[in-house]
Every structure is written in C-alpha cells, then in structure tokens.
Structure 1
Amino acid sequence: MALVSIACESITYEEISDKTPVAELVTYNKDVKPIIEANCIICHSPGGAASFQPWTSYNQVKNNIDNIINRISRPVGDPQKMPQGGSLSPSQIEIITKWKADGLTEN
C-alpha cells in the first residue's frame, strides 16, 4: 500500500487573478486609462463626488499622478484611501506607479 502526501497551498482569488505581469513600457491609453475608467471616473468626472478634480483626460491624470499614487497606496482603513470604499489590486497600483517611472507616456 502506498501513502501519497499532497501539499496544499492556500491562495486567495485576488492572489490568483493578480498575477498579470506589468507591461514592459506602461502607457496611459493602453494600461492606465482602463484602470482609471473602471475605478475613478465615477467620482472624478462632471457630476461626481470629486468633480472638482476631474480625471477624464490624459493631462488631468498626468498632472495629478503624485496625488493619485499617494491615495491609492494608502493602507486599508485610511479615510483618504482611494478609491473610496475599495482598493485597487497590487498589480493595478504597480501599473500606475510604473507609468510614472516610465515617463508618463500617453500612447
């Protein structure tokens, strides 16, 4: 009789779905804009709670990048963490941070 031992590793869904590697050169239109549109535009557009600071264009996001990175990188529970009531995935934060490091390229 053979005894087989299998090791199990506990991985959360977020860890599995967050394995997308960051593109070599991060650009606004290809990489950052979809994240902003899916997570930020609801508040940072005309009529939104943060309409005073819109992020609906490349220049608006580029000009606010330091504030954006500061707010999305805050720990859970910090009242100034964005997006409100949620959090970007670690890979989304890395994409936005890498975009700044790569020179804030539009296309």
Structure 2
Amino acid sequence: MKKINIVLLIMISAFIVSCESNTYTEIAEVTTNPTYTKNIAPIVKANCLSCHSGNSQFPNLETYAEVKESTQNGDLICRIDQTQACGRVMPQSGPMSKTSIDLFLLWQQQGCLN
C-alpha cells in the first residue's frame, strides 16, 4: 500500500509540473506589449463578434478602428470590466477572464496599437 501511495504522489507531482511549463511565459509575452492584431482581435472574435458585427448590435466591433474607438471612449472597457457600473456587463454569455480584461486595459494604456 505504501508503494502505491508513493507512486501516486510521484505521478500527481509530475502532472502538476508538466501543466504549468509554458503558462507564465505565455502570459508575460502577451502582456508586455499587446497589439490589436496579435492579442485583442482574437479576444474580440471569440467574445464579441457573435453580436457586434454587421447590422446587429451597436457598436460594431469588426475592425481595428471600431474596437479602438470603443476602447478609447471608455465604453468597451466599462462594459467588460465588472468593477465599473455602466450598464450591462459584456459579453452576455458571461464575463471575460481577468487576463483578457487586463490585456484590454494594458492595450488601452499603451495607445491601442495595431
């Protein structure tokens, strides 16, 4: 029984260590200097475009210029950041991850680079 516990402990430890190998590096790379094309557009596509494209919901968020304008005027940040009270939280399907919200904030602070 003792051998089984030791083997199980080793396997669990190996699994935990293997799961976090790239996590910190990936986060550091993303948050250092975010751009619309590399970092923000995939988030918008995954979380916003099902409603905010074409003639559906205002504002349209299909292009860099539209996302930049909505970010700079504060509306987009206010809607995705649950710490601010400015109307309905977006996306409707549920809040974005803190990492995605922080990435938007950093992108805004750095001038909304394309």
TM-score by length of 2: 0.68
RMSD: 2.5
SS at match of 2:54: coil
- Of 46, 58, 72, the residue aligned with 1:38 is 46
- 8 Å contact from structure 1 (residues 74, 80) kept in 2: no
2:104 aligns with 96
Q: 1:23 Cα deviation (Å)?
A: 2.6
Task: Tell whether 2:91 aligns with 1:83.
Answer: yes
Stretches of structure 2 lacking an aligned partner (at least 5 in a row): 1-19
Identity of aligned residues (%): 31
Runs of 4+ in 1 over 4 A off after TM superposition: none
Q: Which runs of 5+ in 1 are unaligned?
A: 1-15
Larger radius of gyration: 2
In the comparison of the two structures, how many residue pairs are matched?
89
CA distance in 2, matches of 1:40, 1:31: 14
Work out which of the residue numbers 59, 69, 82 in structure 1 matches 2:65: 59
TM-score, normalising length: structure 1: 0.72
Shift of 1:104: 0.6
